């Protein structure tokens, strides 16, 4: 099966999975807020964040090994695949033990990370945390096996398994909250379903790739080991910096403002994250396809497809960001504020800064995905550390002066550092070209976003003068028509738009036949 068909299958299954889990997640969140306290919602968000921080122990070895698998998978070199997978398994088992050790060592410090926990006792906070820790540690004993599936561009297998697990988990959690609204049972339900899934996945992938059970495995050569660890060392710095920049907002909110506010923020993250997941399915599903493209095609073809990839990303991320600028606050009002009060609505300035970072993050995802597929890790290995330091300093200083908005100022500024530097590196290393064209395109896309959003804001001041469900629905249609109409009007003559249009036409023609 070709790259395009595999990417299309990954995207299709990704959307089906995301639709199923998104709907159930919103239902679950609403019932959670009804049945349990906002402090428990904040604790749930905080602990998820802490365990994301602990995943830093993975230190990029998964990314480095996934890149190393592209060539042997393309060549169908089973022996070499076995060698890499053996190395991967040993590394991840070690990582599991490291995460467990660090996780337990953090227990005495939990009380300093949770401001105003309300009715939640210290003993409960520790026991809740241990359940989260168990879920994270047990994942490392299975997750390494997905690397081979993904290297074969069959990401849909992992997507389908994760979707089914999520649907089952959320279903039982909803039942628990409706019958016995208890946070312990809520967490243990998740832990039990995940554990069953991990046992199943381990056996399923062993049967899918029976040669992984072979004991006769030729170790990797010294050069191959060195190549993997060289990339891993660079990715360590990326990982540490990314964690400091992307995974600390909730910690700062919980420590400097209140754990309950972390729960309020999490509702916004649920909405934007759900939409982002839909968007990211497209772009993350083609990483392995790009890896195959880079291994088999010329730089000119790689560059042409990268420009199409980036153009489409600017369109999709721009459209979703425009929608958030206009509709996110009204949606929170309709969903939560009308029923639970004004406390659930965040300051508008903080939300707008957060959405601006979402837009620029779209560009960074495109750049990071291509860098990952190309194995370009060394050249900017210190960049993420600089970003992380900038984010922490600005966020901690400004949160004490201007509150929540200060945290997102730090996130936005630190992110823009990568938006400026990564294109320079990628264009030089991957394409042997100047990045001037990239930044020229960036200005055009940003101005288009500002124009479309400004027009929609003006119209919304009339349509959403009083926030109602009919008005909200009308505004969705208006944003959709205006943004996409402007984008098509301005870029319909571009080579990238032409490529996308021809791809869609060929797909439709193929289905008609």
- Give the residue extent of every domain in the chain: 3-296+346-433
Tokens for 472, please give them.
Answer: 């909200």
In the prediction, which pLDDT does 185 show?
A: 93
Spell 204-226 as b/e; 16+ CB within 10 A means b.
ebeeebeebeeeeeeebeeeeee
- C-alpha dist (Å) from residue 410 to 52, 97, 201, 396: 19, 33, 39, 8
In the prediction, which pLDDT does 282 show?
A: 67
DSSP state for residue 121 in the 8-state scheme? -
Q: What is the pLDDT of residues 438-482, one digit of tens each?
A: 999 999 999 999 999 999 999 999 999 999 999 999 999 999 999
In the prediction, which pLDDT does 513 show?
A: 38
Q: Are 452 and 486 in contact (CB under 8 A)?
A: yes
In the prediction, which pLDDT does 512 show?
A: 44
In the prediction, which pLDDT does 287 show?
A: 54
Burial of 256 (0-12, 13-18, 19+ CB in 10 A): middle
Residue numbers of the chain with a pLDDT score lower than 50? 1, 57, 512-513
Q: What is the pLDDT of residues 174-194, one digit of tens each?
A: 999 999 889 899 999 999 998
């Amino acid at each position: 099966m070709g790259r395009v068909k595999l990417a299309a299958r990954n995207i299709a299954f990704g959307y089906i999975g995301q639709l199923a889990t998104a709907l159930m997640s919103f239902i679950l969140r609403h019932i959670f807020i009804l049945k349990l306290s906002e402090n428990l919602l904040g604790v749930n968000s905080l602990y998820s964040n802490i365990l994301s921080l602990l995943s830093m122990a993975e230190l990029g070895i998964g990314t480095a090994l996934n890149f190393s698998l592209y060539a042997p998978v393309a060549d169908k070199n089973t022996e070499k695949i076995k060698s890499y997978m053996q190395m991967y398994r040993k590394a991840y088992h070690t990582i599991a033990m490291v995460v467990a050790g660090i996780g337990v060592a953090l227990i005495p410090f939990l009380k300093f990370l949770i401001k105003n926990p309300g009715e939640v006792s210290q003993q409960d906070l520790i026991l809740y945390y241990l359940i989260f820790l168990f879920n994270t540690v047990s994942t490392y004993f299975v997750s390494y096996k997905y690397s081979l599936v993904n290297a074969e561009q069959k990401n849909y297998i992992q997507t389908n398994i994760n979707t089914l697990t999520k649907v089952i988990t959320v279903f039982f959690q909803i039942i628990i909250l409706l019958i016995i609204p208890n946070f312990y049972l809520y967490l243990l339900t998740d832990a039990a379903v995940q554990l069953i899934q991990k046992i199943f996945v381990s056996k399923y992938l062993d049967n899918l790739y029976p040669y992984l059970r072979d004991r006769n495995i030729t170790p990797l050569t010294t050069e191959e080991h060195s190549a993997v660890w060289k990339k891993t060392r660079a990715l360590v710095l990326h990982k540490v910096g990314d964690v400091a920049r992307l995974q600390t907002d909730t910690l700062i909110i919980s420590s400097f403002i209140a754990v309950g506010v972390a729960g309020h923020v999490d509702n916004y993250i649920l909405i934007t994250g759900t939409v982002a997941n839909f968007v990211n399915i497209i772009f993350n599903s083609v990483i392995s396809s790009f890896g195959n493209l880079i291994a088999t095609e010329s730089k000119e073809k790689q560059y042409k497809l990268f420009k199409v990839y980036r153009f489409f990303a600017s369109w999709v991320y721009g459209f979703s960001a425009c929608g958030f600028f206009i509709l996110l606050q009204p949606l929170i009002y309709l969903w939560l504020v009308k029923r639970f009060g004004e406390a659930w609505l965040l300051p508008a300035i903080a939300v707008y800064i957060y959405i601006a970072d979402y837009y620029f993050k779209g560009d960074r995802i495109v750049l990071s995905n291509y860098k990952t597929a190309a194995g370009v890790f060394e050249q900017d290995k210190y960049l993420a550390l600089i970003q992380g330091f900038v984010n922490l300093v600005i966020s901690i200083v400004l949160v004490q002066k201007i509150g929540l908005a200060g945290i997102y100022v730090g996130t936005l500024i630190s992110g823009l550092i990568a938006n400026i530097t990564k294109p320079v590196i990628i264009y030089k290393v991957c394409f042997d070209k100047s990045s001037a064209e990239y930044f020229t395109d960036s200005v055009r896309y940003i101005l288009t976003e500002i124009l479309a959003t400004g027009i929609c804001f003006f119209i919304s001041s009339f349509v959403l003068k009083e926030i109602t469900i009919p008005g909200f629905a009308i505004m969705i249609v208006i944003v959709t028509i205006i943004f996409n109409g402007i984008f098509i009007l301005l870029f319909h003559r571009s080579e990238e738009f032409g490529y996308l249009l021809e791809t869609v036409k060929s797909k439709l023609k193929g289905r008609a036949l």
